[in-house]
Amino acid sequence: MPVNPADAPVMGALYGTDAMRAAMGEHAFLQRMLDVEAALARAQARLGIIPEGAAAAITAAADADRLDKPALAAATRNTGYPVVGLVRQLSAIAGPEAGRWTHWGATTQDIMDSAVVLQMRDGLDLIEADLARCIAGLARMAQAHRGTVMAGRTHLQHALPVTFGYKVAVWLSPLIAMGERFCQLRPRALRVQFGGAAGTLASLGGQGEAVQAELAAELGLAVPDIPWHVARDGIAEAVAALGILCGALSKIATDVILLMQTEVAEVAEPHVDGRGGSSTMPQKRNPISCEYIIAQSRGVHALVPQVMAAMAQDGERGTGPWQAEPLAVGQAFLLAHGALVQAITLAEGLVVDAARMRRNLESTGGLILAEAVMMGLAPALGRGEAHHVVHHACDVALAEGIPLAEALLRDAGVAAKLDRAAIERMTDPTGYLGAAEAFVDRVLERVG
């Protein structure tokens, strides 16, 4: 029975995705270790180290469905690693002649680390494909609402007018950067691991580097400058990048949750009958996607320090830190992908209420344009005096429940400088958007 809800048959519907479970799960890990063993045999056969027939037999035998899982579990429990039992079974399936050439010159960690790298490559493929989909959805939304005026909020209070397209572009920009980061980290994270017992490939004599290069070519991985048994920066960088991605997604989810509040109601998650409902309150439409973006992101953020701590390896083979990685890497990929897929729901289906945005913007009677009025009065009154006058007018407007323009016109100094039409122009939110729309355009230019 799974202990982690993300791996359970029922709760797993809420956490992660089936595609990532398939890529990062144990069956995939076993298959990827067999893939590495088979690739090693083929590489060594090309170099004349082992017979070609042996390599062919080992490759044909490298099928995780043919493994005796209970026997492998027993061997793993006994040795502390799955590779010894796996190689024993692979050798038996390949036959006595071919079997004696399996795992030639390799060490346990070579096979396990290279297998994890292959899994990470599959995981990154899934992440990058869905990230592109999320970016495309948000780009369409930013373009559609480039000029949809709404209240910008700081400290959860009305601050200045912005556009909803600007807000979406703020969400979008870090995700575009994430696509660049994932592309940049691949050469550093997706490297073959092949170093032998202590990283020197001594067991292969003068052919160690050639075997390493051939193995990398077989697996489609980069060749590192040195075996990285105890230099875990590639794996750590990949998981840290997932943490940054989840931070960016959490920002989106947090904003949407706040905008979905009944009293605000400017956006809503796409509604499907029964989604986000309550067992007792029929009216409820809860921000379910947002909640699971945040929950899964926090799970990833809790795993990042675990992988970072695993970088403190001792000597030429770690005693404990390395074994902590399997508890974190797969789950980080799984939860990050789950958060990303939930974010696609928002990117492609968020319901935007532009009319409600306008009503909320106007609900303070022009107070959100206080800075605009202050800057408009500053040339005539000086900035300090203009700030004092507008601040007093805001106090009057709040105390008496009147529009800011009305409060300003009560001030003789203001009335002497500006007529009602000028004040109303200053308190028009569409006239005080600054470079908001230009910033949207700049972000959209980065979308490929």
Residues with a catalytic annotation lie at 278, 317
Give the CA distances from residue 275 to residues 13, 286, 305, 337, 377, in Å, rounded to whole numbers and listed in that order. 13, 8, 34, 21, 51
Closest CA to 323 of 229, 247, 256: 229
Is residue 235 a contact partner of residue 145, using CB atoms and an 8 Å limit? no
Dihedral of the alpha carbons of 323, 327, 329, 334, in degrees to the nearest 10: 160
DSSP annotation of 411:
S
Helix residue ranges, H only, 261-349: 288-309, 321-324, 329-349
Closest CA to 219 of 94, 42, 365, 95: 42
Q: What distance in Å separates the CA atoms of residue 436 and residue 215, rounded to the nearest whole number?
A: 52
Sign of CA dihedral 377, 381, 387, 388: negative
Say how far residue 400 (Cα) sits from the centre of its chain.
48
